[in-house]
Chain A
């Protein structure tokens, strides 16, 4: 099947504007601006079943429909802050198929009536930001951005904004704070960004992969998109496969692909032919799934993974084999979240700090049953009390790790 998102794997020079245009590029943007009303675009995306690819899986068209049409101007922000450990898909899109992503930003902007869009990139994507700036300039020269596009009254400008190393800025309200020139700390919600977002104005924030789907949905229709994937999760997804597999990498596959197909058919199986012990389907934020035959045959979509007690998230599938102890894994995840906690709310700031000290003590060999109980207790006390998902995420691997792999924590 031809690629829908990672199209550079079929058409190597798709990052060149002329090649992109020769392959249908910007026909969809021109079509929406000249032939469709904004709400018709939103309805089309609603009908396609497209869900947000950043992790939450929220229906994209519905998110757009929440935008407040009594307050203007509107903004679109593309979330290119890809920072979840195990996720590296948006990077490949922006490096290799940048115009399809930018066309997606343009289509979303038209749909919600935004004349300015910001692409927020993590600071480490310095080279990608430079390259996107060049692509944006090329689009302007080609009359695809700027004033009165395609002879209509619609105008659009796209700008990049480079972060500077903070995982929390992937949280949408922290991202808005960061663009406003402040520390990236989440806002209390409501009000939600669709009502009060960037500069206090209605704002839609969508992930890079979500946006990159849009040109193809406009070009081929919602029925075409829905014909792929599962009834719960339409279309294709890029699975970032990492950990103890032979062939880690990005795999664009329809929703409903099983863990077994991803790990064995595409990922070449586990290193040294060892068995899969556990799977973290949503990166470091993930709950552990204990791998057994039934789990491996589970078709991956949002609902099916939730039924296994985890979340699909951004589909950053980390594979863990039987050589790895789960207490070592959560040492890594706890240190990550301790480092990335923004410090605004107490449960997360203090909770990640104490979890770190407890797991460090256990790793130093001073291991006691009481410490394991205390660690579990601290993690559970944090749950449902944090201002944003980061604090909640930090507890997922801890709680499910201790509960599902007690032998890895209560060693003699």
Chain B
């Protein structure tokens, strides 16, 4: 079913933000809406968005490929994105990441065997004073976890495993 049929209110609200003659502007919010379904954007969803906005699927695909928060394949339910950029690294982010890998038993870029966590290294998230930190992306939600330790993180992983809740 198309996004417009499934989420008529949301799609209408999104389109209303932009001048009617420039509805292509709605591509980014519509992609977030599509991604909220399964945590990634399917080819069918891209075609659907292209049809809604009267642009080509190539134009939509180019947006998905350019921006790092859009995903076109299924990975872990929770994408744990640890900032290892300069200011965080000056406060121990690399060591935090290393120890997180050891605890989760995966390397950066990999997903835990139960499909729960995909661990990623990302660039600055504007939380330089609260390192080590990461964000978790799941569904269309995204949440910051700051001033973290490995112990606190592993407790969080346990909680997420039990609840399976989306982050909001």
Q: If the complex has contacts A124-B142, A242-B129, A329-B86, are A181 and B69 also in contact, measured as CB distance less than 8 A?
A: no
Contact residues in B for A318 (Cβ distance below 8 Å) = 86-87, 90, 128
Contact residues in B for A126 (Cβ distance below 8 Å) = 140-142
Check: A243 CB closer than 8 A to any chain B CB: yes
Q: Are B128 and A85 in contact (CB under 8 A)?
A: yes
Bound Cα distance A258, B142 (Å): 37
Selecting from A22-30, A101-109, A155-163, A226-234, the interface stretch reads A155-163
Q: Are B142 and A336 in contact (CB under 8 A)?
A: no
Bound Cα distance A85, B131 (Å): 12
B19's partner among A84, A91, A199, A250 (CB-CB below 8 A) is A199
Chain B residues 135-149 with CB under 8 Å of chain A are 135, 140-144
Q: If the complex has contacts A183-B63, A248-B129, are A124 and B135 also in contact, measured as CB distance less than 8 A?
A: yes
Closest to A178 in B: B28
Q: Are A324 and B31 in contact (CB under 8 A)?
A: no
Selecting from A13-21, A164-172, A292-300, the interface stretch reads A164-172
Q: Are A86 and B86 in contact (CB under 8 A)?
A: yes
A324's partner among B17, B66, B69, B90 (CB-CB below 8 A) is B90
Contact residues in A for B59 (Cβ distance below 8 Å) = 182
Contact residues in A for B135 (Cβ distance below 8 Å) = 124
Q: Are B129 and A241 in contact (CB under 8 A)?
A: yes
Closest to B89 in A: A332
B123's partner among A125, A240, A249, A340 (CB-CB below 8 A) is A340
Contact with A along B96-133 (1 / 0, CB 8 A): 00000000000000000000000000111111110000
Cβ of A155 to closest chain B Cβ, rounded Å: 15
Q: Are A336 and B24 in contact (CB under 8 A)?
A: no
Bound Cα distance A127, B62 (Å): 25
Q: Are B143 and A127 in contact (CB under 8 A)?
A: yes
B70's partner among A164, A243, A342 (CB-CB below 8 A) is A164
Contact residues in A for B62 (Cβ distance below 8 Å) = 183
Contact residues in A for B19 (Cβ distance below 8 Å) = 199
Cβ of B139 to closest chain A Cβ, rounded Å: 11
Q: Are B86 and A123 in contact (CB under 8 A)?
A: no
Q: Are B69 and A242 in contact (CB under 8 A)?
A: no
Check: B150 CB closer than 8 A to any chain A CB: no
Contact residues in B for A74 (Cβ distance below 8 Å) = none
Q: If the complex has contacts A83-B126, A84-B124, A166-B67, are A181 and B26 also in contact, measured as CB distance less than 8 A?
A: yes
Contact residues in B for A342 (Cβ distance below 8 Å) = 66
Bound Cα distance A125, B25 (Å): 19
Check: A122 CB closer than 8 A to any chain B CB: yes
Q: Are B25 and A179 in contact (CB under 8 A)?
A: yes
Bound Cα distance A165, B31 (Å): 13
Bound Cα distance A212, B66 (Å): 31
Contact with A along B28-39 (1 / 0, CB 8 A): 110110000000
Q: If the complex has contacts A183-B62, A336-B123, are A163 and B129 also in contact, measured as CB distance less than 8 A?
A: no
Cβ of A116 to closest chain B Cβ, rounded Å: 8
Q: Are B32 and A162 in contact (CB under 8 A)?
A: yes
Q: If the complex has contacts A91-B126, A244-B90, A336-B123, are A162 and B63 also in contact, measured as CB distance less than 8 A?
A: no
- What would 15 more interface pairs be, CB under 8 Å, given A127-B142, A242-B129, A316-B128? A85-B123, A86-B86, A88-B126, A88-B127, A124-B142, A125-B126, A126-B141, A162-B28, A162-B29, A167-B123, A181-B27, A248-B128, A283-B87, A329-B86, A332-B89
Residues of A within 8 A of B (CB): 82-88, 90-91, 122-127, 159, 161-167, 178-184, 199, 240-244, 248-250, 283-284, 316, 318, 320, 324, 329, 332-333, 336, 339-340, 342
7 residue pairs A–B, Cβ–Cβ below 8 Å: A123-B67, A162-B29, A165-B122, A181-B26, A243-B90, A318-B87, A332-B89
Residues of B within 8 A of A (CB): 17-19, 22, 24-29, 31-32, 53, 55, 59, 62-63, 66-70, 85-87, 89-91, 122-129, 135, 140-144
